[in-house]
Structure 1
């Protein structure tokens, strides 16, 4: 079975799209970064290192130091699919991130987005 194309896509190539989506709705790059760091456990420096080295999604999530256990509380539809029903673990992690960025763009409070 071949890997999904997104798995081998550079995280750095998609990151500006996350930021642009948030900024179009009046949110900030810092808030997008906060979501990513919350989800993955990366420090800001380690995260920026992954952006600079153009790490692919598969490696980015594989090297995440501490995936947040509260991410299991992320529920709902993304691209017409229930996030909690996605079987492939890597695709689920990617969709968790997509869902969090969507919630940010929809104006949800950071405390709710970060399941606080």
Structure 2
């Protein structure tokens, strides 16, 4: 799956229904199955969740190297212990208002299929 396809899929999944509906559905699923654990994060006023099993690690913002001729939502690349990882700005990808990076900002490094992204 290409990165663009991956983020279109992720956007579709995250943008259906309200945040409250999504979180209520996740909570109901977790209670029924006893196995769903999520890491939540905010983009603007919305709260999202990603299955904990998809998250490799959460790191502090590090130097991001811009790459020419990439989609506008690709912030660039990071080098994480000799592994080059593309960093995606979900605010930009989902056409949300730009936000400043703060001391609380983090990069979530995820495994999605065979890809690793931040």
TM-score in terms of structure 1 length: 0.29
Higher RCO (Cα < 8 Å, 6 or more apart): 1
Structure with greater strand percent: 2
Q: Which entry has the higher C-alpha Rg, 1 or 2?
A: 2
TM-score in terms of structure 2 length: 0.28
Structure with greater helix percent: 1
